[in-house]
């Protein structure tokens, strides 16, 4: 059975992110994409527009001296322009480390990502790590 095109799009995004290929990653998003990050820390909030979303992804690497990684576990599509992905995020920041399950809920229009809602297994743990 072949993979749904929306799932394939998200897998390409994860692959580009993992390789640090921000040019490819940016081509998978609309100019007005919004990435919503939960919590109450310096990275939380609504990263509106492709450039702001890309700056957020770059900052994940910068804040962790390049140690931030995600291990994709699964990708699920509804066939109506929504995809859910689940991954484990890992990174080190100063004397702190984090390993946490996260999920992303994507909205896809015209084969491009328009919206990303991020969820986490523990908002307090993420706030402590990023603060």
**pLDDT cut 90: percent of the chain above it:** 98
Show the domains of the chain with their CATH numbers: 5-130 (3.10.450.50)
d(CA 33, CA 27): 11
* pLDDT over 80 at 4, yes or no: yes
- How confident is the model at residue 20, as a pLDDT? 93
Reported as a single tens digit per residue, the pLDDT across 59-93 is: 999 999 999 999 999 999 999 999 999 999 999 99
**What mean pLDDT value characterizes the chain?**
97
Structure tokens at 37: 């990050």
d(CA 131, CA 127): 6
Measured in degrees and rounded to the nearest 5, phi and psi for residue 104 equal -125, 135
- How confident is the model at residue 2, as a pLDDT? 83
Please give the angle made by the CA atoms of 84, 115 and 12, to the nearest 5 degrees. 60
């Amino acid at each position: 059975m072949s993979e749904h095109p929306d799932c394939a799009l998200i897998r390409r995004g994860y692959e580009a992110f993992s390789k640090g290929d921000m040019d490819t990653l940016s081509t998978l998003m609309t100019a007005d994409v919004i990435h919503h990050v939960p919590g109450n820390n310096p990275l939380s909030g609504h990263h509106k527009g492709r450039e702001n979303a890309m700056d957020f992804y770059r900052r994940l690497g910068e804040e962790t001296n390049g140690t931030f990684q995600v291990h994709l576990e699964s990708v699920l599509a509804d066939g109506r322009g929504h995809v859910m992905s689940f991954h484990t995020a890992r990174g080190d920041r100063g004397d702190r480390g984090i390993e946490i399950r996260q999920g992303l809920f994507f909205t896809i229009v015209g084969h491009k990502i328009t919206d990303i809602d991020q969820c986490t297994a523990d908002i307090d743990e993420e706030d402590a790590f990023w603060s």
